[in-house]
Amino acid sequence: MKELIEYIATSVVANPDEVKVTETIESDDRIVISLEVHPEDKGRVIGRQGQFARAMRSILKVLAIKQNVRVTLEII
């Protein structure tokens, strides 16, 4: 999941070298993925009215259901 979010984010931002994705396992069934981007790229990652961020969260949700876990995406 981490690699997928990193791939999606680097393909959208203007500064792909500054994309950092960390995956933290909070419990057996809960994973938090933090996406850190350059301040100028936050708007691109969030998207118009949050559509791009919502799309990334939807993709993560599908993968999480397959793995029987809960995933949260934080954009920092």
pTM: 0.90
The count of structural domains within the chain is 1
CATH number of the domain to which 27 belongs: 3.30.300.20
How would residue 26 be classed by pLDDT, with cut points 50, 70 and 90? very high
Concatenated DSSP letters of 4-67: HHHHHHHHH-S-GGG-EEEEEEEETTEEEEEEE--GGGHHHHH-GGGHHHHHHHHHHHHHHHHH
Q: How much is the pLDDT for 64?
A: 96
pLDDT of residue 53: 97
pLDDT at 43: 95
